[in-house]
Structures are given as C-alpha cells and as structure tokens.
Amino acid sequence: MTTSRYEFKNFTARLDGDKPDDATGHWIDAVSLGFHDRKPTDATKAVHIRRGAADGKTMTGAYDTRAPAEAMPGPVGTFVGYDKTLNVGGALLPAYLISAVTVRPTHRRNGLLRRMMTDGLAGAAEAGTPIAALTASEGTIYRRFGFGCAVNKKTMTVDTTPRFGMLVPAPGSVEIVDAGKLREIGPAVFDDYHRVQIGSVGRQGEYADIISGDLGENGEPDPAVRAAVHYDDAGVIDGYVSYKFAGWGQTPGTIDLIDLIALNPGAYRGLWEFLGSIDLVTRIKIPGALGDDLLAASLVDARTVNVTEDRDHLWLRILDTAACLEARDYDADGRLTFRVDDSLGYAAGTYLLEVAGGRGTVTKEPDDAPSDFKLDVADLSAIYLGAVSPLTLIDAGRITAASRDVATTLRAVFAPGGSVWCTTEF
C-alpha cells in the first residue's frame, strides 16, 4: 500500500466566468462518479459552487501522476472538510465535518482514503477542533479511523388513510405558504432548533435552497416543492415542513417529505396532523425520521407508522477527550476513571471524569492508573451524546467495565437530557 505515485492537492471551489474552473469541475465529476450520480452540467456545478461558497469547504483531490492519456481526468480520490457546530447537550461544540469521500475503484488499496482522512483529522486537531463528524455510505469504513455511530435514523412510511388521526389535538395552527418563503423562515427556525436539539449539526448554506424548491436534484428550481408552517398559540412560527407530491404514477398517492423541523412536540404533532389531512394522498415517505417513537405514540393507530429501515446516520470522532466531555451537560453525578485507546493518538490516555451539578470536569491521569472501564475512541464517540447505551456496548464486548456498579454509573452519567437526533445530511 503506497501513495508515492499520487499527488494530493487542497483547494476551494472556484468559477471561471459562469462555469467551474477545470480543477473544480473535474473534482465534482469524480464525486458524482463515486456516488453513481449523473454527471452534472457546468451550469449545475456553478449553481452549487455559488450557493455553497459560505460554508468554507476545503476540497482535497488525490491525483494519479502515472495516469494514461485515456483515463478520466481529475482526481481518483476526493475528500472535503469544513467547520460547523454540533449540539452536544449543553453547548454548540465546534465540529469538523467530512463529506464527499470517494476513491475510484481502480485505485483502491493504495492508502488514498487513509492519507486524506488522517491529513484532515490532523488539520482539525491542530486547529483545536475537538470533534469530527460524518455520515457514511457504508457502515464498515470509518471505525478504523476512530469514528463511532452516535445517532441512527429511520426510514418510514406513514399510512394517512382514515386510520390516521391524533389521540390529542395539536396546539396552534398550520398554514400552507409559498415554498419560497422557507428561504428566510427555514434557516431562522433551524437556528433555534439547533440550539436546543441534542445531536443537531449545523447546516450547509444550500439547505435553504433545497427546502424552498430553489435547488432541485438537477440544479434547477423544483416547482413541485410545497411548504407549510406551524404557528403556536401566540401566532409565532415554531416549525415548518417542506414536501412534494411524488406524481400520479405512484400508487397509492404519495408525498415525499423533504424536511420537517419543529421547535417543540406540539409543533411536530401539528405538522403531522396537517400532512395526514392532505387530499388525494394516503402515504407519506420519510427518508430520515426522528429516532424516537413520538409520532407513533401520538396516533390513534400506531400501526400506520411503518419503519422500513433503521440504520446508522451520524458518526462522531472525538479528537480532544477533555474538551468534549466538559462541554456537555449531565443529569447524574458520578466519578469514573477510564482508559481510551486511540490508534491515531488524539484521544488516547487515562482520564478521570467527575460530574457534579450537571457539569463534568476531566483530569488526565497517569497512563497506568487503575481504570473503571476501558474502551476505544470509536466507542467513546458512540456513547458521547447518550443515544447509544454504554450497557449495550458492554454486552457487545466493546467496553470493558470493572464491575456492574461501574456499568450502572456509566449508563446514568452518559444518559442524555432529552431526545438525540440529527436532521442534517452532509
């Protein structure tokens, strides 16, 4: 495994007039190839470049210096990193987001992914960013780099025939609005949501364009996108939904949910009450549903909710153990000494976590100090937000606890202060 024949370049997306420059255009083509997307036009590329400029993304390309003349131009490996925030329950923690990771199949097992990933993580750690995050197309790739799945998501369909109905009427009201209104309403509501929702990740600038229908899958506006907003009893907007009719070719009549953000359970129930009332539709598809069972618990017939997939979503990688553990809130006091193994070294060591009054203090201990439990950084990252139970990982052999009392304390200390969920795709 060698990277000696490859050249690695970091750059930002640029336009040459009304189209991407060659480096940017070829990089985008390489990402499209990796994810089996259609090759976008120059006009589509330009739209994405303009609307994503504020995110400050650094694009990495791995280039084959021995490529034959007939080879597809551009990088044979891609990677992008940029900075957002992660709600850890108590703080918005700076986070290094990783996306668009591809390696051309003809260049696998040459160390390209490892080189791009380790360089990206090294840069984030050097900048003082305490945690990295990604969403994975495959579930077996990223544990080797210290990532653990911290939040799952569900794909669901909801039957909105007459069986659908709320046990308790939702407060407030809902109004249909022009989808374009979500360009302003959406980011404002999401900012409030992001401040209170554990597991929420800051969104890319393009989200406002997607939920408003200004940016469809082909880079053009999508006039099929519709929107509605929820008002609380005081007339203040506290939620919205973006959706589209799947077309008359779908049987039964189906709505595809694009985005639903609610600042409280009442708004969530109210938006679903609205969705269930739409005429000529008896099914709603949700590609990434709330991880708990709030919707099912709210309905007269919980069987109208059908989970078709429950899979990993948000993967975290702790880079600074003390900074991460001291940032979040805790609902139970406790004192735990633990050993973290980290093949890249960033989070490795023995630590003492002392929690009192909802806040944690972390002290680095000698490496050979006795520990209450031992785990890999991937598993510490998995339990960090609280959605993954430490007891599950203990039973799976991924965490070694000195006693059952330690396991009980560990579960109590890391329990989340509310639901844990991430609505952001990246």
Q: Judge whether 147 counts as a catalytic residue.
A: no
Q: Are 342 and 364 in contact (CB under 8 A)?
A: no
Q: Which residues pair with 7 in a beta bridge?
A: 63
d(CA 127, CA 238): 36
**One-character DSSP codes across 200-217:** -BPPPTTHHHHHTTSS-T
Q: Which residues of 318-344 are buried (b: 16+ CB within 10 A; e: fewer)?
A: bbbbbbbbbbbbbeeebebbbbbebeb
Count of beta carbons in the 10 Å neighbourhood of residue 231: 17
* 79, 164, 274, 426: the active-site residue: 426
**Which residues fall in the annotated binding site?**
101-103, 109-114, 137-138
**Which residues fall in the annotated binding site for acetyl-CoA?**
101-103, 109-114, 137-138
Count of beta carbons in the 10 Å neighbourhood of residue 366: 8
* 142, 190, 268, 338: the active-site residue: 142
Half-sphere exposure of 396 (CA within 13 A, CB side): 10
Q: Which residues of 5-43 are buried (b: 16+ CB within 10 A; e: fewer)?
A: ebebeeeebebeeeebeebbbbbbbbbbbbeeeeebeee
**Computed over its alpha carbons, how large is the radius of gyration of the chain?**
23
Q: Judge whether 142 counts as a catalytic residue.
A: yes
Catalytic residues, by residue number, are 142, 426
